[in-house]
Structure 1
Amino acid sequence: MPAGAGSGTDHSFERLTMTDFSDEELQAIRTESERAYELDRAHVFHSWSAQAQLSPMVISRAQGSYVFDGEGKKYLDFASQLVNTNVGHQHPTVVQAIKDQADLICTINPAHVNAARSEAARLICELTPEGLDHVFFTNGGADANEHAIRMARLHTGRRKVLSRYRSYHGGTQTAVNVTGDPRRFANDHGDAGVVHFFGPFLYRSEFDATTEAEETERALRHLERTIQLEGPQTIAAIILESIPGTAGIMVPSAEYMQGVRRLCDEYGLVFIADEVMAGFGRAGRWFAFEHFDIVPDIITFAKGVNSGYVPLGGVIMNDAIYSDFTERAYPGGLTYSGHPLACAAAVATINAMRDEGMIANAAKLGEEIVGPRLAEFSEKFPNVGETRGVGMFWALELVRDKATREPLAPYGGGSAEVSEIVGKLKAGGVLPFNNYHRLHIVPPLNVTADELNAGLDVFEQVLSEANYS
């Protein structure tokens, strides 16, 4: 392992150098990785992929803001993997908490009380608005959204769910149907009780808006007409990512989110805030909806709650929905609900975020470094369109033409040009998050200013050389 992995008493990482491994360690890594790759290609079925076209990258080690490939080469992890390693890799406090919990109870029937789950629930509810005091634990974000929708349907006695285009809510059956991007197409048979609507996105406005105020007003009018024409008496809920993540990090206005809250109240709909990616500090607040001065009825979470060290998600519900199930059974459950190892990791993660000021760090570096530098990229480079974000949650649009805003890859697909840019970023030692024609800058919340600038320097060099038209 790299120096410092799993050690340290001051809750900080030892920053790695380019001499992390001896020659003997490098050879062991290469041998191990070659074997791992052979077995992967022989036996592992990868998600969202045509299997024969894959040549996946081997990750052999990880530490802090870095990962190492099968050759021992180091990369700044500007993707936080799938935007979930919020406290970085191998955080010693979280690793130790998992080890300590394993010595006590590795797993237990969720019908029983266990201390790790109880403390995780307490800490999570300490972060939520008053009245959202109960957590149903799941294995991840997709099943959190599945159960949130089930609760809303049971609470209202209605079936339809409204969700926006350009969204992602998970890969399970209901979650992939409420998803508003092309990955749902093969799974969508039109019978899931889902209705999609256009959300606000001024850069690619569906409403011919020229200002944020126009975009907000027209998007809310469109949503209200959708509710009216679908019949509010048939609609259980609206589910929204507080800030859409994979779909593009389009930060809505506070007025829009407050308008959605008003429409839910007016028409008796449950407001589900999907905080799976945007929550637990990613957007510079504990929850992204805090930016908009609203309170949802249900919050779903996963990913950053324990940085993905052990799979965990959950549904936080308000008192009205909780009370539906005080005298009647909730028809749902999971073998690993509130898994002790996962919950111990959540307790350690939340405490580490607090103790080390990670959320303040994310907000500060986003405002002072990422935002200004990405704005410069948009001004200087011909293939950079809009840049946007907050905290450690930023997107950069790659366009073929700034005037027409034609994307450098089609929505729902890739292109040789984008692949070339991604390849050059990796060659420069940065592991990026790429979705269609976008690059996302989403490093761990405890990334340092030096690491952040080093990664953005690579982005700047690569984008300065790009000239596709």
Structure 2
Amino acid sequence: MRTTAPADRHQGTNGTTTGPFEPLGPFRPFRPFGPEAEAAVKAADRDHVFHPWAAQDLVDPLAVAGAEGPYFWDYAGHRYLDFGSGLVHTNIGYQHPKVVAAIQEQAARLAAFPPSFAVDVRSEAARLIAERTPGDLDRIFFTTGGAEAVENAVRMARLHTGRTKVLSAYRSYHGATSTAINLTGDPRRWPSDTASAGVVHFWTPFLYRSPFYAATEAEECARALQHLQDTIAFEGPATIAAIVLETVPGTAGIMPPPPGYLAGVREICDRYGIVLVLDEVMAGFGRTGAWFAAEHYGVVPDLLTFAKGVNSGYVPLGGVAVSAEIAATFARRPYPGGLTYSGHPLACAAAVATIRVMEEEKVVEQAAALGENVLGPGLRELAARHPSVGEVRGLGAFWAVELVRDRATREPLVPYNATGAAAAPMAAFGAACREHGLWPFLAMNRTHVAPACNLSGARAEEGLAALDAALTVADTYTANTTYGGTHGTHGTHGTPYDLPHTGTPATVPPHLTETR
């Protein structure tokens, strides 16, 4: 484990000398180091905190003493490079001094005020966001997180169209609130699934595990669009209010859509008068090397949801960017929705400061260069040496490494939604990452690589070296040591092993950690 910072603090991945915020110097824990302090924190946590997505008697969280830049550390002084940016939200790293100062200054000036009033920092946050959203998405409805943003986007779409049904992808995560969790495709939906009329799931393109048995990206795109059109035809176009898609699916596997897919969905929506909602809660604000991932595909949605990176998660904030057409629906008709803390001044101050930091320090450009020059090449090089890597995919500071038992069959390292002994290979891989000072983001049979968007090249290499060591553990679970596979390219589709086949687990697996 590295405990000292690399020497290139001021050297960014794009070659500039203004570099990311990656402070040097001693740790600054908010409580004293040591076993007594750790024991007190863990005792209070165990007795009084009800943890999300967890069996309460089984959860044993790491006690965190502090965080700064791309690192956090525990009470024993072990430092971890966070390769998941928390829950993919600390896009500018932890404790950026300019954002912390902005929150402190706002708290001293106006700590809270209801959303029905015009407040300068709220107006400025909305203006800065609207300037960066694609097309005419110029009106911002604030929420306190991504799930609430999705809830309100769906409500807007239903009221705008007068229709009720909403289509969403099986490979998706949209949040844990009522509508959002029903839209979600992953197993966390199951315990709360009301089977409510109006939510219809469909398959989206994912060539490596194609549900359409396609052999090329073009074929996958065409078949996925045909499948969507067929779904709409059978459901009745006049009954469908919206299609909700993550522009680049996040927790579901970071699968950038093939060329033409989102444009095809946009055309289908236009043809039938369906509202297109793009969920950019995870992919937005620089994560993919653009302000919003939709920019990569030249598509403008009718509604765009955001959260996480808008202020690096320093204070809870989310929202919906609303098109002129949908905003006009509520010009003389009250919109029936709102939250006490919508556009909270402290959250908006953090957003204003974060966006300005991203501009000043060229964080979006940093993320693009990080993916093109370091993460992409580095992960593909690891794939060439480790038989447990089936595919590498992603862009910017947003990547997935698919771990498999057999490259030829693409059998996942662990079964779909594995728990207990069946999940042991991924647990061993995660433990190996942590032993080498890397905190991974694990989901199903994948490790996601989503560090701070302004991570320096040297620190990215540090993380890749830790991954390299941990992959040797994953390799021990492979069927053979034959080297080959796709390493980020695509061949003829094999069995979609990651789909559920038999049995239903009794609990949500602990490695599904995203929350909103």
Band of TM-score, shorter chain: over 0.9
Match of 2:451 in 1: 443
Checking the alignment, whether the CA contact within 8 Å between 1:382 and 1:467 is kept in structure 2 is no
Note the C-alpha offset of 1:12.
5.5
Deviations 1:416-454 (A, max 9, x none): 011001001001000110011110000001111010000
Match of residue 60 from structure 1 = 65
- The CA deviation string for residues 184-203 of structure 1, in whole angstroms up to 9 with x for no partner, is 01111211410000000000
Give 1:390's aligned residue. 395
Select the residue among 295, 299, 306 that pairs with 1:294. Answer: 299
Deviation per residue, 1:274-326 (Å, 9 max, x gap): 00000000010000011101110000000000000000000111011101111
* Distance of aligned partners of 1:354 and 1:192 in 2 relative to their CA distance in 1, 3 Å threshold: farther
**Letter of the structure 1 residue corresponding to residue 182 of structure 2:** N
1:246 aligns to 2:251 (yes or no): yes
Match of 1:467 among 472, 476, 487: 476
Amino acid at match of 1:36: V
- Contact 2:20/2:455 (CA < 8 Å) preserved in 1? no
Structure ranking higher in helix proportion:
1
Following the alignment from structure 2 to structure 1, what is the Cα–Cα distance between the partners of residues 452 and 284?
13
Q: What's the offset of the Cα at 1:27?
A: 5.2
SS at match of 2:57: helix
Instruction: Indicate conservation of the 8 Å contact 2:33/2:77, yes or no.
Output: no
Residue 322 of structure 1 aligns with an amino acid whose one-letter code is A
Contact persistence 2:286–2:364 (CA under 8 A): yes
After TM superposition, list the pairs within 5 Å mapping 1:187-226 onto structure 2.
187-226=192-231
Structure 1 residues 131-210: aligned runs within 5 Å = 131-210=136-215
Aligned to 1:349: 354
Deviation at 1:467, TM superposition (A): 1.6
Q: Which residue of 2 aligns with 1:409?
A: 414
SS at match of 2:158: helix
Give the counterpart of 1:97 among 92, 95, 102.
Answer: 102
Deviation for aligned residue 1:30: 4.1
Deviations 1:212-251 (A, max 9, x none): 0000000000000001110010000000000000000000
Q: Return the match for 2:280 from 252, 268, 275.
A: 275
Q: Secondary structure at the match of 1:127?
A: coil
SS state at 2:263 partner: helix
Tell me the CA shift for residue 66 of structure 1: 0.3
Deviates more, 1:56-65 or 1:32-41: 32-41
Correspondence 1:13 to 2:6: no
Partner Cα distance (1:392, 1:252) in 2: 16
The residue identity in structure 1 corresponding to 2:476 is N
CA distance in 2, matches of 1:30, 1:239: 47
Contact 2:432–2:469 (CA under 8 A) maintained in structure 1: no
Which of 131, 147, 151 is the aligned partner of 1:126? Answer: 131
Gaps of 5+ in 2: 11-17, 479-516
Alignment of 1:31-42 (within 5 A): 31-42=36-47
- The answer to which of 155-164 and 63-72 deviates more is 63-72
SS in 1 for 2:131: helix
Percent of paired sites with the same residue: 54
SS class of match (1:196) = strand
How many residue pairs end up in the alignment?
461
Partner of 1:433: 441
TM-score between both structures, scaled by the size of structure 1 = 0.95
Distance 1:374 1:352, change over 3 A: same
Match of 2:343 among 335, 338, 347: 338
> 1:141-173: per-residue Cα shift (whole Å, max 9, x none)?
000000000000000000000001110000001
The whole-number CA distance in structure 1 between the counterparts of 2:379 and 2:399 is 9
Aligned-residue offset at 1:269: 0.2
Deviation at 1:58, TM superposition (A): 1.1
- Find the counterpart in structure 1 of residue 500 from structure 2: none
Deviation of the 1:28 alpha carbon: 3.9
| 1:110 alignment partner, one of 115, 118, 124 | 115
| Distance change in 2, residues 1:3/1:417 (3 Å) | closer
Q: Which runs of 4 or more aligned residues in structure 1 lie more than 6 Å from their structure 2 counterparts after TM superposition?
A: none
CA contact (8 A) 1:254 1:291 kept: no
Among 425, 429, 438, which residue is 1:421 paired with? 429
Determine the structure 1 residue equivalent to 2:369.
Answer: 364
Compute the displacement of 1:103 (Å). Answer: 0.6
Deviation of the 1:386 alpha carbon: 0.7
Cα distance change of structure 1 residues 464 and 341 upon mapping to structure 2, 3 Å threshold: same
- What is the distance in 2 between the residues matched to 1:338 and 1:325? 19
Alignment deviations for residues 114-149 of structure 1 (CA, whole Å, 9 cap, x no partner)? 111000000000002232110000000000000000
Q: State the 1:11 CA deviation.
A: 8.9
More divergent stretch after superposition (139-148 vs 38-47): 38-47
Cα gap change, 1:14 to 1:88, in 2 (>3 Å): closer
Deviation by residue 1:47-72 (Cα, 9 ceiling, x = unmatched): 11111111111111000010011212
Q: Let me know the Cα RMSD of the aligned residues.
A: 1.9
Q: Go from structure 1 to structure 2 and tell me whether the alpha carbon gap of 1:271 and 1:26 turns closer, same or farther (over 3 Å shift).
A: closer
The alignment's TM-score, normalised by the length of structure 2, stands at 0.87
AA partner of residue 343 (structure 2): G
Q: Give the secondary-structure state (helix, strand or coil) at the position aligned to 2:429.
A: helix
* Inter-CA distance 52–90: structure 2 relative to 1 (3 Å threshold): same
1:254, distance to aligned residue in structure 2 (A): 2.9
User: What code does the residue aligned with 1:73 have?
Assistant: H
Equivalent residue number for residue 493 of structure 2: none
Query: Any stretches of 5+ residues in structure 1 without a counterpart?
Result: none
Q: Which residue of 278, 285, 289 corresponds with 1:284?
A: 289
Question: Is 404-413 or 433-442 further displaced after alignment?
Answer: 404-413
Q: Residue 319 and residue 341 in structure 1: after superposition, are their counterparts in 2 closer, same or farther (change >3 A)?
A: same
Residues of 2 paired with 1:20 and 1:161: CA distance?
48
